[in-house]
Chain A
Amino acid sequence: MEELKIQPIRNGTVVDHIPQGQALNVLRVLGVDSATRDVVSVAMNVPSDEMGRKDIVKVEDRRIDSKEADLIALIAPDATVNVVDDYDVTEKHDVSMPDEIRGVLACPNPSCITNTREPVETVFDVRDDEIRCEYCGTVLTDEIAEHLA
């Protein structure tokens, strides 16, 4: 049944097992926005044996590497990332939380130096499931997707 909805792609990346409702946030993490020229398909609320319902994202002609895949772990810790070449899955990544997150998140502390015109990207350290701004020490408490830059 799933196969009917998710048509195979020739080249690109399929991100599967995304928690229901997080597909668009996965795209944000990958930097895919309305300006993209990639062919992007999003399936939401797909019935899944393991997850009940899940979301799936496909980005054609783009290879998501393991570093980008780890960013997906921020919002979809059980996601699987399949890189497809000529209709074959040539790489499979399980995602895992990175030690450090650069540039993807904005610091929620309004007086953090990263929330100014300074020429730096944000850096967050991930330790014991705690995500902490390396500049000001603020810990992200609510949904990480809320802090996507």
Chain B
Amino acid sequence: MDIINTKEMSKDDIVAVLDRAAEIEPSDALDGDVLALLFFEPSTRTRMSFDTAMKRLGGDTVDMGSVESSSVKKGETLADTVRVVEGYADAIVLRHPREGAARLAAEFVDVPVINAGDGAGHHPTQTLLDLYTVRDNVAAALGDLHVGIMGDLKYGRTVHSLAFALAKFGARITFVSPPSLRVPENVRTELGRAGIEFKEVDGVDDVIDTLDVLYATRIQKERFPDEKEYEKVAGEYRVTPETLETARDDLVLMHPLPRVDEIAPDVDETRHAKYFEQAHNGVPVRMAVLDMVM
């Protein structure tokens, strides 16, 4: 079994991963197995998290290292790289700058391929750990939730996958973003086609009191024509203790990390802050995924 994107996973598949993650303990279940970590672009956190997950299950990892020092630099195709690595490992974790890379890799090898991010495409274990964190922190069923997704919704890869996954469970979604960073047309069309209802607003103040979850995302400086414009937008979408004044007591505040200015440090001490827990959840969720595919 490959894990390419959550869009193609059924609700039952997703629930199975989340359930497994909730109960998984360190063990030697994967003793003797080797996981290959192929990161064609840097993502230290995701790499460490997979590495840890594999080791907690008694397995071992081999790491391709940086692209600069590998055969890729010499112009090797991805199809060749994965076919070579298949001989070293029992599963492959792949991070690649191009959309569709994980699907391509999966076509060329028999061992399971886990997509750890393909360009602006999918990052399914991130989506799964996001869902896990939501489920772990709210009393209601996923389908009864109102989730606000805020920030850069145009380029933010994680938020599109998350929106589709939440919608699978029937959650209500409100997108909060400046007009220039709205959800792109093709995603909008796809959501509509899937019968998913969503609202779009410019500011979080009007909806904050009705939210169960607020998912803030990184707003990247590079997306703006100049520094001033960035500062203005970043300021408006920054979560501070004041932002949360009218929020429900049990509002869950999430962020994929690393954050820049999106959440003020003094929010960390509030009961809403779940983003470090969210980051830690990467390990049990990836343990569950590895345990299921290997």
Contact = CB atoms under 8 A, between A and B. Distances in A.
Interface of A: 109, 111-114, 116-120, 128, 133-139
Interface string B181-198: 000001001000100000
Contact of B77 (A111, A117, A134, A139): A117
Contacts of B78: 113, 116, 118
Contacts of A128: 193
B97 interface: yes
Interface string B101-118: 101100100000000001
A111 to B, nearest CB: 5
Nearest to B80: A119
A133 B186 contact: no
Interface string B75-96: 1011100000000000000001
A107 to B, nearest CB: 8
Q: Is the interface of B mostly helix, strand, loop or mixed?
A: mixed
B121 interface: yes
Nearest to B96: A113
Contacts of A112: 98-100
Nearest to A135: B100
B121 A137 contact: yes
A112 B118 CA distance: 9
Contact of A137 (B96, B99, B107): B99
B68 to A, nearest CB: 19
B77 A136 contact: no
Contacts of B75: 117
Contacts of B186: 138-139
A118 B100 CA distance: 11
A136 B97 CA distance: 12
Contacts of A111: 97-99, 119-120
Contacts of A119: 77, 79
Q: Is the interface of A mostly helix, strand, loop or mixed?
A: loop
B193 to A, nearest CB: 8
A138 B99 CA distance: 10
Nearest to A133: B100
B121 to A, nearest CB: 6
A136 B107 contact: no
B100 A114 contact: yes
A135 B104 contact: yes
B130 to A, nearest CB: 19
A81 B96 CA distance: 43
B74 to A, nearest CB: 13
Nearest to A107: B100
B99 A109 contact: yes
A113 B77 contact: no
Contact of B104 (A118, A137, A138, A139): A118
25 contacts: A111-B97, A111-B98, A111-B99, A112-B98, A112-B99, A112-B100, A113-B96, A113-B99, A113-B118, A114-B104, A116-B77, A116-B78, A117-B75, A128-B193, A133-B100, A134-B100, A135-B100, A136-B98, A136-B100, A136-B119, A136-B121, A137-B100, A137-B121, A138-B186, A139-B189
